[in-house]
Amino acid sequence: MSTTIHHFIGGESSAGASGRTSPVLNPNTGQTQAEVVLASVDDVHAAIAVAQQAQPAWAALNPQRRVRVIMEWIRLIHANLDSLARTLSLEHGKTLADAKGDILRGVDVLEFCLGAPHQFKGEYSSQVGSGIDTFSLRQPLGVVAGITPFNFPAMIPLWKAGPALACGNAFVLKPSERDPSVPVRLAELFIEAGGPAGVFNVVHGDKQAVDALLDSDVIKAVGFVGSTPIAKYIYERCAATGKRAQCFGGAKNHAIVLPDADIDATADALVGAAYGSAGERCMALSVVVPVGEETADRLRDALVARIPSLTVGHSLDPEADYGPLVSADSLARVRRLIAEGEDQGAELVVDGRGIDTSSSSFDGDGLSGGFFAGPTLFDRVEASMSIYTEEIFGPVLCMVRADTLEEAIAYPNDNAYGNGVAIFTSHGGAARDFLTNVNVGMVGINVPIPVPIAYHTFGGWKASGFGDLNQHGPDSFRFYTKTKTVTTRWPDETSAGPEFTIPVMS
């Protein structure tokens, strides 16, 4: 019998009033393992109202006291890491080790937030004019919201909630309804850590819940990660209602491989970056662009030699390199795009559609109904093909051949997305020219997935990101606070009468 996953509002579980639910599947088996309640507009308004009431007292705490709550929150997440990772793995489909990484990369940002007393500081300038001082201070926005994706159900909520809460805001999270359990548990752990009830709330839902957040006069900022069309929709709607927004969309991440690259090391990096987590990462490398036919042939041979050794299996299987896709729809999309690539003339070197789990099982779970896709490799892909233009979000690697470095750089530069890119080379000058000229937000040099560490900012360009401030790092504190600038002068015996010209500080 499946369980029901409720909202978390005001420090308590809430069934809401909509009466609507959505199934939460185990992607290893395709079977329903829970039902998640979906919020009505009134449910969202209730969460916002609770957050609005709780926020002033939370903001009134000095930053150091807020940080002590976050410090205990970190400890509790570590103490519950195994159970959190298991739940995440069974709802999303990523392996247990990868699920732990999902959580811990979120904790990295919470650890950065322990520096909130420093990040929260303003600036001071003395004697900017005769007897005049100017200073600035940062203040929380009030109630803010996060709308987060299925593919990182711990990391992205923590990237949003951590800085927002450290800054003194109250936070309303709308996670993906596909894997909602871990976000709720993280909110519960925040309360266990000493966080006030109502400061961190979780509402589940679909477009109805999203629009209720976007239309609320109380919500002052929205952080989003998901597809580009929805990112653009949320960004535009936030602009229309006067909200701050940081909205991160899709990706088509490229890896450029130069002739002097270590081909074996590059192939190892590409296999992990393209097929890890079944390709369901916004930073997955889905396109490789070797420079020169000889480089391409060598790299292709190295990839073909490695792919058969990959193990696709149950997400809890310690022998599995990656698990299933998150849903039947995701699997159907991947299969459709593979078929289109073949029809459009790309060379299908390794076809992952042939994976057979009909007789497989793990720990009593039969895998015949699971959403498994084998690793797929295309060669001689053209920029006009749908497997190149669309974000596949599956274990599919496309090889696009280039004759020169300039031609190779043109592929990521001309692509609509600009999330991540990598170059593999042993030539420092070529790498330096590449990072200067490539029009992409995050760059790796011999690093296949260039996700910045927590104290630097994460964000893509072009259709991968909407908004002028990125996630985590110092940008997150700028995003979740407003700056107030104060100019002071204390009257004394030298004060003159009325002044009718604009003040000039000289």
Kindly state which CATH superfamily the domain 3-249+464-486 is placed in.
Aldehyde Dehydrogenase; Chain A, domain 1 (3.40.605.10)
The region, left, alpha or beta by phi > 0 then psi within -120 to 50, assigned to residue 339 is alpha
**Which runs of consecutive H residues, i.e. helices, occur in 276-370?**
293-306, 328-343
Half-sphere exposure of 295 (CA within 13 A, CB side): 23
Mean pLDDT of the chain: 96
What pLDDT, on the 0 to 100 scale, is given for residue 131?
86
* pLDDT tens-digit map of 47-80: 999 999 999 999 999 999 999 999 999 999 999 9
The model's pLDDT over 299-353, given as tens digits with 9 standing for 90+, comes to 999 999 999 999 999 999 999 999 999 999 999 999 999 999 999 999 999 999 9
The number of residues making up the chain comes to: 506
Distance CA 87, CA 187 (A): 15
**pLDDT tens-digit series, residues 155-199:** 999 999 999 999 999 999 999 999 999 999 999 999 999 999 999
**Which tokens belong to 368?**
């015949």
The two domains 3-249+464-486 and 253-445 share their CATH topology (first three levels equal): no
Residue-wise pLDDT for 274-286, tens only, equals 999 999 999 999 9
Residue for token digits 């000058």?
A: 429
Contacts of 414 (CB under 8 A, 6+ apart): 383
Q: Which helix (H) or strand (E) holds 90?
A: helix 81-92
- pLDDT for position 506: 60
45, two tokens: 């308004």
pLDDT exceeds 90 at position 358:
no
**484 φ, ψ (degrees, to nearest 5):** -110, 125
Catalytic residue, chosen from 167, 238, 247, 282, is 282
Cα(230)–Cα(247) distance, rounded to whole angstroms? 9
Contact (CB, 8 A) for 7 and 47: yes
**Which pLDDT does position 505 carry in this prediction?**
62
What residue segments make up the domains of the chain, in order of their start? 3-249+464-486, 253-445
pLDDT of residue 2: 67
72-81 contact pairs (CB < 8 A, 24+): 72/193, 72/194, 73/110, 73/189, 73/190, 73/193, 73/195, 74/107, 74/110, 74/111, 75/193, 76/189, 76/192, 76/193, 77/103, 77/107, 77/110, 77/186, 77/189, 78/107, 80/185, 80/189
CA-CA-CA-CA torsion sign (363, 367, 368, 370) = positive
Is 398 among the catalytic positions? no
pLDDT of residue 213: 98
CATH topology for the 253-445 domain = Aldehyde Dehydrogenase; Chain A, domain 2 (3.40.309)
Confidence bin at 294 (pLDDT 50/70/90): very high
pTM of the full predicted structure? 0.96
